[in-house]
């Protein structure tokens, strides 16, 4: 019988919760880091510098979206391999993922440095912001190999059942980034004064240090995914593995693009309502970022845990993992929604100022829309289980339908009847539609009959015990 890993044994509820919480912590740290970086740039360099970072952040998001899809596919394949005790297959997956993306990210960094002015022109950057945006974007490209590789390795570790190690090194990256920003922007002490490029360089240094430190820790603790000696040959990308990662990862990367493009489309509709409404919506967006975090963390945790149990053939546990994921989502997201309803004015004032006339509009948006994130969270849990068995196309199709025909249909079709409320109600309408379709797929979609994701044989698999040091 295949050896059981931590995620395939023991009581489901506490194991799932303890696995999801570090992932949630990582998400909170990432968002807080972005917010704090924006504060440093805005306060130390002014609004024009802050506006210039938008281009770099957009490019970073697009690249990270595809790494997210690729990484999620690796998480699922590694999880299923661990579940059936195929440690060699998990290492082959990790090796192919790293052997593909490290050279690719280095090529992107070099090409991006030279292509930055052309990208800014393509994005329609305002002429007065081009010099600052060019400096920021170029250094951002230099940071991408570390950011993308660190993201990929963290997702691979979660597939192996370890969510704590990624959290530890996310903390390191965030602390370093926050501390280095003012030093490199202003040139404090012996550091040169780099202005906006200093903020991007702080991100680069923080992520390279965190990446190197995490690699050292993986080998120091002899974690299961480490490669030694002849195993280093696994860094040569395997076409069979790469094909699985591409076929399964591309739809998951595209879904992030779909969601973001839908939000940009909605923003164009909101912008027509004037500056006050747009400001209120912007503050609401900041708050929604945190409200949706439990859903994203639980969805990822359920996917990794379900993948290991599917690999082990423990289908009875898969249903219970999903059920507990739904229960935890309702509790955690519901608590955040209730807290936001109770303290909506104070929360809005953090972004708009205590005397802003946009606060009332923000409160109105919150009360009409935020409850939909409970439905969104349940959908993420269901999708996490469905993806764990390799079904990634149907969730993408559901999101396309809910983000465009449903959301835009409500926003535009009900506008004459409901006025601007049609915009705010389109958000929960899309989330409820997503939940209905996700439930139908989970219950009747046939995803359980999909063949297991198995690393195709090419390299003889040695007898590889699971190192005790790799288990938490």
Based on the domain organization, do 124 and 225 belong to the same domain? yes
Q: What's the confidence (pLDDT) of residue 54?
A: 63
Q: Which residues contact 172 (CB under 8 A, 6 or more apart)?
A: 206, 209, 210, 213
| Rounded CA separation 156/94 (Å) | 7
The pLDDT-based confidence of 3 (bands split at 50, 70, 90) is very low
Based on the domain organization, do 262 and 152 belong to the same domain? no
| Rounded CA separation 304/7 (Å) | 9
Residue 279 burial by CB count (10 A; 0-12/13-18/19+): exposed, middle or buried? buried
In a domain, 461, yes or no: no
Based on the domain organization, do 24 and 130 belong to the same domain? yes
Of 214, 237, 260, the last residue of a domain is 237
Based on the domain organization, do 269 and 210 belong to the same domain? no
Q: Which of 65-69, 181-185, 286-290, 466-470 has the lowest mean pLDDT?
A: 466-470
Count of domains for the chain: 2
Of 188, 214, 237, the last residue of a domain is 237
The boundaries of the domain holding residue 117 are 12-237
Q: Which of 41-45, 61-65, 419-423, 467-471 has the lowest mean pLDDT?
A: 467-471
Of 237, 265, 295, the last residue of a domain is 237
pLDDT at 251 over 60: yes
The pLDDT tens digits for 109-122 are 999 899 888 877 77
In a domain, 363, yes or no: yes
Place of tokens 């440095």: 113
Based on the domain organization, do 271 and 174 belong to the same domain? no
pLDDT at 472 over 50: no
In a domain, 309, yes or no: yes
Mean pLDDT of 440-453: 86
Structure token digits, residue 196? 């906006």
pLDDT at 245 over 70: yes
Based on the domain organization, do 71 and 175 belong to the same domain? yes
The CB density around residue 465, as the number of other CB atoms within 10 Å, is 8
| pTM of the model as a whole | 0.84
Q: Which of 19-23, 139-143, 219-223, 273-277 has the lowest mean pLDDT?
A: 273-277
Q: Which residues contact 116 (CB under 8 A, 6 or more apart)?
A: 134, 137, 138, 141
Q: What's the confidence (pLDDT) of residue 466?
A: 47
Query: Would you tell me the crossing angle of helices 358-369 and 344-352 to the nearest 10 degrees?
Result: 130
Based on the domain organization, do 198 and 319 belong to the same domain? no
Instruction: Bin 10: left if φ > 0, else alpha if -120 < ψ < 50, else beta.
Output: left
Q: What's the confidence (pLDDT) of residue 5?
A: 46
Closest CA to 174 of 129, 132, 206: 206
Q: Check if the beta carbon of residue 145 is closer than 8 Å to that of residue 109.
A: yes
Based on the domain organization, do 223 and 257 belong to the same domain? no
| Rounded CA separation 358/239 (Å) | 54
Report how many helices (DSSP H) and strands (DSSP E) the chain contains, helices first. Answer: 17, 0
The pLDDT tens digits for 370-408 are 999 999 999 999 999 999 998 899 999 999 999 999 999
The pLDDT-based confidence of 471 (bands split at 50, 70, 90) is very low
Structure token digits, residue 116? 């930055």
Q: Check if the beta carbon of residue 102 is closer than 8 Å to that of residue 332.
A: no
Based on the domain organization, do 428 and 287 belong to the same domain? yes
Q: What's the confidence (pLDDT) of residue 401?
A: 96
Based on the domain organization, do 378 and 437 belong to the same domain? yes
Q: Which residues contact 71 (CB under 8 A, 6 or more apart)?
A: 97, 151, 152, 155, 156, 249
In a domain, 458, yes or no: no
In a domain, 171, yes or no: yes
Q: What's the confidence (pLDDT) of residue 61?
A: 72
| Rounded CA separation 332/24 (Å) | 11
In a domain, 396, yes or no: yes
The pLDDT-based confidence of 205 (bands split at 50, 70, 90) is very high
CA 182 vs. chain centroid, Å, equals: 27
Q: Check if the beta carbon of residue 245 is closer than 8 Å to that of residue 77.
A: yes
Size of the chain in residues: 472
Q: Check if the beta carbon of residue 374 is closer than 8 Å to that of residue 434.
A: no
Q: Check if the beta carbon of residue 136 is closer than 8 Å to that of residue 195.
A: no
Q: How far is CA 276 from CA 270, 359, 396, 411, in A?
A: 10, 9, 34, 19
Mean pLDDT of 125-138: 78
Mean pLDDT of 53-58: 66
In a domain, 469, yes or no: no
Q: How far is CA 245 from CA 215, 259, 417, in A?
A: 22, 21, 46
Residue 289 φ then ψ, to 5° = -55, -40
In a domain, 417, yes or no: yes
pLDDT at 66 over 80: no
The pLDDT tens digits for 70-107 are 888 999 999 999 888 889 999 999 999 999 989 999 99
Based on the domain organization, do 371 and 436 belong to the same domain? yes
Q: Check if the beta carbon of residue 19 is closer than 8 Å to that of residue 305.
A: yes
Based on the domain organization, do 127 and 216 belong to the same domain? yes
Q: Which residues contact 351 (CB under 8 A, 6 or more apart)?
A: 282, 283, 286, 287
């Amino acid at each position: 019988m295949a050896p059981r890993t931590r995620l395939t044994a023991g009581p489901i509820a506490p194991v799932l919760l303890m696995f999801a919480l570090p992932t949630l912590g990582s998400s909170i740290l990432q968002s807080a880091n972005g917010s704090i970086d924006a504060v440093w740039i805005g306060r130390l360099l002014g609004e024009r510098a802050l506006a210039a970072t938008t281009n770099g952040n957009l490019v970073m998001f697009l690249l990270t979206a595809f790494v997210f899809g690729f990484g999620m596919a690796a998480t699922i394949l590694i999880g299923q391999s661990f579940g059936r005790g195929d440690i060699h297959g998990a290492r082959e997956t990790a090796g192919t993922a790293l052997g593909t993306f490290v050279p690719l990210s280095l090529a992107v960094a070099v090409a991006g440095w030279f292509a930055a002015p052309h990208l800014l022109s393509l994005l329609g950057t305002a002429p007065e912001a081009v010099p600052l945006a060019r400096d920021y974007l170029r250094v951002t490209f230099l940071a991408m190999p570390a950011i993308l590789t660190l993201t990929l390795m963290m997702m691979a570790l979660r597939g192996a059942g370890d969510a704590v190690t990624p959290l530890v090194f996310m903390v390191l990256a965030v602390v370093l980034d926050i501390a280095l920003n003012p030093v490199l922007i202003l040139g404090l002490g012996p550091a040169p004064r780099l202005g906006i490029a200093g903020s991007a360089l702080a991100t680069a240094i923080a992520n390279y240090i965190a990446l190197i430190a995490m690699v050292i820790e993986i080998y120091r603790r002899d974690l299961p995914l480490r490669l030694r000696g002849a195993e280093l040959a696994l860094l040569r990308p395997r076409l069979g593995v790469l094909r699985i990662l591409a076929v399964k990862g591309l739809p998951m990367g595209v879904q992030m693009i779909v969601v973001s493009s839908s939000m940009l489309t909605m923003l164009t509709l909101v912008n027509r309502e004037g500056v006050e409404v747009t400001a209120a919506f912007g503050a609401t967006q900041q708050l929604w970022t945190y409200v949706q975090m439990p859903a994203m963390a639980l969805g990822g945790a359920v996917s990794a845990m379900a993948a290991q149990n599917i690999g082990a053939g423990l289908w009875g546990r898969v249903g219970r993992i999903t059920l507990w994921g739904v229960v935890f989502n309702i509790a955690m997201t519901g608590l955040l929604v209730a807290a936001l309803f109770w303290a909506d004015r104070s929360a809005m004032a953090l972004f708009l100022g205590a005397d802003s006339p946009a606060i009332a509009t923000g409160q109105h948006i919150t009360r009409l829309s935020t409850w939909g994130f409970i439905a969104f969270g349940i959908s993420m849990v269901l999708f996490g289980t469905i993806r764990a068995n390799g079904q990634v196309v149907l969730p993408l199709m559901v999101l396309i339908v809910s983000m465009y025909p449903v959301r835009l249909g409500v926003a535009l079709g009900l506008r004459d009847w409901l006025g601007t409320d049609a915009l705010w109600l389109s958000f929960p309408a899309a989330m409820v539609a997503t939940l209905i379709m996700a439930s139908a797929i989970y219950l009747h979609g046939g995803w359980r009959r999909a063949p297991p994701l198995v690393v195709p044989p090419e390299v003889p698999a040695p007898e590889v015990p699971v190192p005790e040091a790799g288990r938490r």
